[in-house]
Amino acid sequence: MSGHHHHDHDHDNHFTPIEARVKALESLMVGKGYVDPAALDAIIDTYETKIGPRNGARVVARAWVDPDFAARLKADGTAAVAELGFGGRGGEHTVACFNTPEEHNLIVCTLCSCYPWPLLGLPPVWYKSPPYRAKAVIDPRGTLADFGLTLPEGQRIRVWDSTAETRFLVIPMRPAGTEGWSEDKLASIVNRDSMIGTGLPRVEDADRGDAS
């Protein structure tokens, strides 16, 4: 799923108090010439679409190649993720949701925008938007269609609502045609949206280095 869908969603123009403070600070620093807006955008993009999701992608790839790790991940996501060195604030209690042919998982945070930062980096704008937060619960199949994802009719969709205490990570199904791939190559096809549930891994992204 490419980034173009971001513009298909209505964005909330009302900032939370902390967002307003960050915006004010950003404007002040840019105005005084301390920060180059283009450089700031590049840094944010890096954390949102490159560095952050790579951690989660490593977890997914390890689960695909190591059944014992997958079992530990299913039993205690927090402990299993910690084995790979990930955790901390925003990932204190991680629950892994495994997709199956019968069930597809979708993550949302209806109250705010709780998100597994240590695994996925910065949350995308659409994840925090009221339209996504409302529609994901009411019409999950329609929400996936907004992202260009159509699932088989027989595959049910389970929606998980994140909280300040619990963050969820979708473990997508391993795509066909990836037999014999290295763990690194497998990680390269795991994109951010597939770990939220609004997308699927893309075999064509293999070894591109930016599968987000």
Q: For residue 123, what pLDDT is reported?
A: 86
Q: Is residue 27 part of a domain?
A: yes
Reported as a single tens digit per residue, the pLDDT across 98-136 is 999 999 999 999 987 788 878 888 888 899 999 999 999
In a domain, 212, yes or no: no
Can you tell me the mean pLDDT for 11-23?
Answer: 58
What percent of the chain is predicted at pLDDT more than 70? 74
The answer as to whether 83 is a domain residue is yes
Quick: pLDDT tens for 35-83. Answer: 677 766 666 665 555 556 889 999 999 999 999 999 999 999 999 999 9
Distant-in-sequence contacts of 2-11, Cβ < 8 A, 24+ apart = 3/49, 3/212, 5/126, 5/146, 5/147, 5/148, 6/124, 6/125, 6/126, 8/146, 9/125, 9/126, 9/129, 9/131, 9/132, 9/146, 10/129, 10/130, 10/131, 11/125, 11/126, 11/129
Domain with 132 in it: 3-205
Give how far Cα 112 sits from Cα of 2, 108, 130, 158, 162, Å: 24, 9, 9, 19, 9
Residue 52 domain-assigned (yes or no): yes
Domain annotation covers residue 210: no
Kindly state the tokens that stand for 64.
């695909």
Residue 92 belongs to a domain: yes
Per-residue DSSP letter, 111? S
CA–CA distance, 59 with 82 (Å, rounded to integer) = 10
Half-sphere exposure of 181 (CA within 13 A, CB side): 20
Please indicate, yes or no, if residue 166 is contained in any of the structural domains. yes
**Which amino acid, 192?**
R
Confirm if 193 and 170 have CB atoms less than 8 A apart: no
pLDDT of residue 190: 96
At position 75, the amino acid (one-letter code) is A
Residue 144, CA distances (Å) to 33, 107, 118 in order: 42, 11, 25
- Residue range 133-153, pLDDT digits in tens: 999 999 999 999 999 999 998
Average pLDDT value for the chain: 82
The catalytic residue positions are: 109, 112-114
Asked if residue 201 belongs to a domain, the reply is: yes
pLDDT of residue 208: 54
Residue 197, sorted as left (phi over 0), alpha (psi -120 to 50) or beta, turns out to be left
Tell which wins on pLDDT, 54 or 172. Answer: 172
C-alpha–C-alpha distance, residues 133 and 143, integer Å: 10
CATH code of the domain in which 33 resides = 3.90.330.10
Total domains in the chain come to 1
